[in-house]
Amino acid sequence: MPINKREASAQHFLELIKRSQRGVFKIYIGMIAGVGKTYRMLQEAHEMLENGIDVQIGYVETHGRTG
């Protein structure tokens, strides 16, 4: 019995979930500017990409506001 498109899509999605692994959330913290946080982050990202691992990078700018 053929599977319709919707069922095939749902089955494909479930298979992706079963095979997926949890990601890693990493924060780079340094006491002052210029200690190498960005350099280290990009260095690790390049190594991961070379090994076929997807990388996502985010940046938060507070514009001097606290809290």
The answer to the question of residue 51 being in a domain is yes
d(CA 28, CA 26) in angstroms, rounded, equals 7
What pLDDT was estimated at residue 2? 55
d(CA 63, CA 25) in angstroms, rounded, equals 23
The answer to the question of residue 10 being in a domain is no
pTM above 0.75, yes or no: no
Phi, psi of 45 (to 5 degrees): -65, -45
The identity of residue 12, as a single letter, is H
Q: How many folded domains does the chain comprise?
A: 1
What pLDDT was estimated at residue 47? 93
Domain coverage including residue 46: 25-67
User: Over the stretch 5-36, which tens digit does the pLDDT of each residue have?
Assistant: 777 788 887 777 777 777 888 888 888 889 99
